[in-house]
Chain A
Amino acid sequence: MLIKEFIQVLRDPRMKGVLFVMPVVQLVVFGYAVTTDVRNVRTAVYDLDNSVASRELISRFASTGYFNIVEYVGTEERTRELLDRGQAQIILRMNKGFEDDLRAGRTAQLQVLADGTDSNTAGIALNYSAKIVAEYSQSVLNSRAMRLLGPLREPGQVRLQTRAWFNENLESRNFYLPGVIAILVTLVTLLLTSMAVVREKEIGTMEQIMVTPIRPFEFILGKTVPFALISLVNVVLVTTVGVLWFDVPVRGSILRLLLATMLYLLTTLGVGLVISTISQTQQQAMMGTFFFHMPSMLLSGFMFPIANMPVVVQWLTYLNPMRYYLVIIRGIFLKGVGFSVLWPQLLALAAIGAVTLTLAARRFRKTLA
C-alpha cells in the first residue's frame, strides 16, 4: 500500500516539483516579502517657514532612516495629489512663523499628515514622528534652561532604555519566517491527505482496493505514512534554506524541532483524513481543506497576534493545532527553550492528533463496511 501510494504520488515529475521545489521557492519569495518593519516611509515636506529651525527639524527626520524625503512641495494641491496617488505616505508641514514662535517662547507646531489607507504603517510612522518632535523639543528646552540656570545645571530627564530579547534588532522577518515554514508544511500535508482517500473513491479504484485483504488500519497507514515522510523531508528542506539564506537564528535544538514537527504532522494528517472521509469528490475535499485551513492560518497567531483578538475568538484558537505549533516553532527558533517550557503545547497537539485520527479511523471503517 505504501509503495503504491509513493509511486502514484511521485509518478508525475511535475508533482515532485510542486512538492519539493515549490516550498523552497515560496520560502525564499515570502521570506523577503514578510516584513512589517517600517523603513523608508515616503515623506514630502511642505515648509513654508524655510528657516534654520525648520530645516533642522526636517534634517532630524531625514537622518533617522525611517523617513525618506521624496519631495519638497510648494503648494497645498501638490500635497493632496501626492497623498491621493500614494506617492507620499507622510507630509510634514510647517507654517510661516515657525522659528519666530520658537524664539518668542510660544509653542511652534509641526503638522504631520499621514495616509491612513495603511493604518499600521501610518500609526508607526506617527509614533516615530512624535518621538523625533519630543526629542527636538527637549533639546530646545535644555538649551533654554541652560541659558537661564547656567551651564552646570542640566535639567534631569527620565529616559527609557530598551533591550529586546531573542530578536535584538527586532527584525520582523525572524518572527514571520518560522510561521511561513509552518504554513507551507501544513498546506502540503493537508492537501495530500485530504485528497488521498477521496481520489480512490472518485476514480473508482476504491472497489478494487476493497476486494484486497487489506484492513482499514493498514489502509490508513499506507495512505498517511508516505505523506508524513514527504512532509518531514519538506520541513528539513525548508528549515535549512530558511536558516542558511535568511540567517534566522535557531537557538534551540533541531532534534526537538523535528520531534515536535512529527507530532504536529500527526494532527494535520488526522485532519486531512477526516476531511477525506467526509467528502465525496476531490473538489469537496479541496474546498473542505481550504475551509479549514484559511481560518486556522488566520487564527493561529501567524500574522495577527492572538492576544489582540476578542476573547471568544481566543477560546476558539485553542482548537487550532497550528496555534500550538507556532508557539513551539518560534520558541525553538528564537527563544531556544526546550520541552520543559513547551510541554503544554505538545500535550495539546497530541490530544488533537489522537482525536482526529480516531475519528478518521472510525468513519473509514464505516465506509468500508
Chain B
Amino acid sequence: MKPLRVRAIARKEFIQILRDPRSLGMAIAMPMLLLVLFGYALTLDVDRVPVVVWDQSESPASRELISRFAGSRYFSVKGYVQNYREVEQAIDSGATLMALVVPREFAQRVESARPAAVQLLVDGSDSNTATIAIGYAEGVVQTFSGDIGLRATQRLGVHPLSPPVEMRPRMWFNDDMESRNYIIPGLIPVIMMVIAALLTSLTIAREWERGTMEQLISTPIKGPELIFGKLVPYFAIGMFDVLLAVLMGEFVFHVPLRGSVLLLFVMAAIFLVGALSLGMVISIVAKNQLLANQLAMVLTFVPAFILSGLVYAISAMPLPIRLVTYLVPARYFIALLKGIYLKGVGLNVLASEAILLVIFAAAMVALANLKFRKKLV
C-alpha cells in the first residue's frame, strides 16, 4: 500500500465533500438536531395523564379520593362526566386516557368498613403509558385505602399500626432517574451509525453511476488503497461528530460521564471504522445510488433504532431476534457507552462487547476489500 496514492484519493474525496456544503452541513447538523430532540423533547417518563371522572357517589369520601388524583403530578383531571356515553366519547376520541368511575355505594361501604371498589377504564392502545399510569393510579388508591384503614382502627380505639412492611427503593447509576441520562449515551451510537451509513453508502456507487469509476480503475491505484483513501475524510467527519455529541452531552445536558473518556473515544473510533466500512460494502455491492440508498436504510437506519437496545430492551425480545441483534454493531456500542457513562466501569467488565466491536470492524473492512473488484463490469 502506497501512502502517496491513499493520500491522493483522500484529498480528492475531501475536495468533493467540500464542494457539496449542503451534505456536509447536514452531516454535522443532524447529530446536533437529534441530540436536542432527544434531550429535551423525547421522553418515556409519564406524567399529567389526562383523566375524566364519573363520580356517582358525590360524597366527602369520593371527593377526597378524587382530590388525591387531582393533586398528583401524574394525573391531570380533565373534566367530570355524567354518563357512560360521555366516557366512551372521551376515550374514543383520545381526549382522555382514562376514566375514573366511583360507584354510588362507595361512601356507605367506606363508612361501614366494607370492601369498596373503584373502576378505572383505560385506553389500552398506548400500552406503555397505560401500564405506567395504571401503576400510579393503583398507588394513589392503595395509599387512600391504607389511610381509611388506619382511621377505622383508630376509631375502634386500637393503637394505630404503622405499615408492617415498607419498601425502600434505590436507583443505582442514575440517581435522579432522568431518562435523558440513559438515552443520550445510547443515542450517540445510533446517530453515528446513521451518519456513517449516509456518508459512505453513496460514495462508490456514485462513481459508478457518474462514470468516473472507469477513470479510477485505469489508474495504478489498488483496491485497498481506494477504499482506505475514501474512508479517511469520512472518518474525520465522524470523529468530529462524536466529539460534538460528547461535548453537548457534557455541557448542554449535563449527563454525568463517570468512566474513562479515552476508552470512549477509542471505542468510538473502532465503531466508526466498522460502520463506515459497512457503508462502503453497501456502496460497492449496489453500484447505483438508488439501490445503495435503500439498502443503507434497511441495513443501518431502522435496525439501529429498533434492534440496538436503545428504546426496546433486548432482554425482552424472543431468542431468534436476540440473535439477530448480535449483528447490529450499534448494540455493542450502546452497551459500552452506557457502561462508561453511567456505571463508570472499564474494560474488565466491558471486554466482551469491546472484542465483538473489534471483530465487527475487522470483518467489515475485510469484506469491503474482498468485494471491490477493479473490473469494468
Contact assessment for B174 and A148 in the assembled complex, using a CB-CB cutoff below 8 Å: no
- Chain B residues numbered 134-181 whose CB sits less than 8 Å from any CB in chain A: 134-139, 141-142, 144-146, 148-149, 152-153, 156, 158, 161-175, 177-179, 181
Report if A140-B169 is in contact (Cβ < 8 Å); known contacts: A26-B302, A165-B123, A191-B297: no
Which A residue's beta carbon lies closest to that of B156?
A149
Known: A33-B321, A287-B198. 14 other contacts (CB 8 A): A9-B290, A32-B318, A35-B312, A35-B316, A105-B164, A107-B165, A126-B169, A175-B126, A282-B209, A283-B289, A288-B26, A290-B198, A305-B128, A341-B92
Contact assessment for A134 and B294 in the assembled complex, using a CB-CB cutoff below 8 Å: no
Task: Mark interface residues in A300-318 (1 if CB within 8 Å of B CB, else 0).
Answer: 0001110111100100000
Which one of A327-335, A346-354, A360-368 contacts B?
A327-335
Contact assessment for B312 and A34 in the assembled complex, using a CB-CB cutoff below 8 Å: yes
Which A residue's beta carbon lies closest to that of B126?
A175
Name A's B-contacting residues (CB within 8 A): 9, 12, 14-15, 18-19, 22, 26, 29-30, 32-40, 42, 57, 83-86, 102, 105, 107-124, 126-131, 133-134, 136-138, 140-141, 144-145, 148-149, 153-168, 170-172, 174-175, 180, 183-184, 187-188, 191-192, 195, 199, 202-203, 279, 281-284, 286-288, 290-291, 294-295, 298-299, 303-305, 307-310, 313, 327, 330, 334-335, 337, 341
Chain B residues within an 8 Å CB radius of A160: 117-120, 137-138, 141-142
Contact assessment for B125 and A175 in the assembled complex, using a CB-CB cutoff below 8 Å: yes
Task: Mark interface residues in B285-325 (1 if CB within 8 Å of A CB, else 0).
Answer: 01011110111011001110011000111011110110011
Chain A residues within an 8 Å CB radius of B94: 327
Does any Cβ of A come within 8 Å of B115's Cβ? Answer: yes
Contact assessment for A159 and B124 in the assembled complex, using a CB-CB cutoff below 8 Å: no
Most chain B C-beta atoms within 10 Å of own C-beta, residue among A29, A42, A174: A29
- Chain A nearest CB: distance from B333 CB in Å? 14
Contact assessment for B170 and A30 in the assembled complex, using a CB-CB cutoff below 8 Å: no
Contact assessment for B113 and A40 in the assembled complex, using a CB-CB cutoff below 8 Å: no
Please name 26 pairs of A and B residues whose Cβ atoms are closer than 8 Å in the assembled complex, sorted by A. A32-B318, A86-B335, A109-B167, A109-B168, A110-B167, A113-B170, A116-B171, A126-B169, A126-B171, A130-B167, A156-B116, A156-B152, A159-B118, A162-B119, A162-B134, A162-B138, A164-B123, A166-B124, A188-B294, A281-B206, A287-B22, A287-B198, A291-B29, A291-B30, A305-B44, A308-B43
Which B residue's beta carbon lies closest to that of A203?
B209
Contact assessment for A195 and B293 in the assembled complex, using a CB-CB cutoff below 8 Å: yes
Contact assessment for B153 and A145 in the assembled complex, using a CB-CB cutoff below 8 Å: yes
- Chain A nearest CB: distance from B301 CB in Å? 8
CB within 8 A of B123: which of A130, A166, A288? A166
Report if A282-B312 is in contact (Cβ < 8 Å); known contacts: A34-B306, A108-B164: no
Contact assessment for A37 and B302 in the assembled complex, using a CB-CB cutoff below 8 Å: no
Which A residue's beta carbon lies closest to that of B321?
A32
Chain A residues within an 8 Å CB radius of B166: 107-110, 133, 137
Chain B residues within an 8 Å CB radius of A288: 26
Most chain A C-beta atoms within 10 Å of own C-beta, residue among B46, B124, B148, B321: B124
Contact assessment for A12 and B118 in the assembled complex, using a CB-CB cutoff below 8 Å: no
A42 to B314, CA, bound (A): 13
Does any Cβ of A come within 8 Å of B227's Cβ? Answer: no
- Chain A nearest CB: distance from B178 CB in Å? 7
Does any Cβ of A come within 8 Å of B345's Cβ? Answer: yes
Listed from nearest, the 8 A-B pairs whose CB atoms lie closest are A116-B174, A167-B124, A164-B124, A127-B135, A158-B145, A140-B164, A170-B127, A156-B113
Report if A137-B170 is in contact (Cβ < 8 Å); known contacts: A116-B175, A116-B182, A282-B293: no
A119 to B168, CA, bound (A): 17
CB within 8 A of A84: which of B153, B177, B179, B345? B345
Does any Cβ of A come within 8 Å of B93's Cβ? Answer: yes
- Chain A nearest CB: distance from B358 CB in Å? 20
Contact assessment for B177 and A29 in the assembled complex, using a CB-CB cutoff below 8 Å: no
Which B residue's beta carbon lies closest to that of A188?
B294
A33 to B206, CA, bound (A): 34
Chain B residues within an 8 Å CB radius of A168: 124
Chain A residues within an 8 Å CB radius of B126: 175, 305
Contact assessment for B27 and A15 in the assembled complex, using a CB-CB cutoff below 8 Å: no
Chain A residues within an 8 Å CB radius of B339: 86
Does any Cβ of A come within 8 Å of B194's Cβ? Answer: yes
Most chain B C-beta atoms within 10 Å of own C-beta, residue among A37, A127, A164, A330: A164
Contact assessment for A84 and B116 in the assembled complex, using a CB-CB cutoff below 8 Å: no
Chain B residues within an 8 Å CB radius of A159: 115-118, 141, 145
- Chain B nearest CB: distance from A171 CB in Å? 6
Which B residue's beta carbon lies closest to that of A291?
B26
CB within 8 A of A156: which of B115, B131, B177? B115
Contact assessment for B149 and A141 in the assembled complex, using a CB-CB cutoff below 8 Å: yes
- Chain B nearest CB: distance from A159 CB in Å? 5
Chain B residues within an 8 Å CB radius of A153: 113
A15 to B33, CA, bound (A): 31
Contact assessment for B46 and A124 in the assembled complex, using a CB-CB cutoff below 8 Å: no
Contact assessment for A18 and B170 in the assembled complex, using a CB-CB cutoff below 8 Å: no
Which one of B34-42, B235-243, B246-254 contacts A?
B34-42
Contact assessment for B115 and A119 in the assembled complex, using a CB-CB cutoff below 8 Å: no
Chain A residues within an 8 Å CB radius of B175: 116
A14 to B298, CA, bound (A): 13
Contact assessment for A144 and B161 in the assembled complex, using a CB-CB cutoff below 8 Å: yes
A15 to B161, CA, bound (A): 71
CB within 8 A of B92: which of A112, A157, A303, A337? A337
Contact assessment for B42 and A309 in the assembled complex, using a CB-CB cutoff below 8 Å: yes
A287 to B21, CA, bound (A): 12
- Chain B residues numbered 163-218 whose CB sits less than 8 Å from any CB in chain A: 163-175, 177-179, 181-182, 194, 198, 202, 206, 209-210
CB within 8 A of B130: which of A154, A170, A282? A170
CB within 8 A of A35: which of B42, B130, B291, B317? B317
- Chain A nearest CB: distance from B91 CB in Å? 6
- Chain A nearest CB: distance from B150 CB in Å? 9
Chain B residues within an 8 Å CB radius of A113: 170-172
Does any Cβ of A come within 8 Å of B343's Cβ? Answer: yes
Contact assessment for B312 and A36 in the assembled complex, using a CB-CB cutoff below 8 Å: yes
Contact assessment for B120 and A141 in the assembled complex, using a CB-CB cutoff below 8 Å: no
Most chain B C-beta atoms within 10 Å of own C-beta, residue among A174, A284, A294: A294
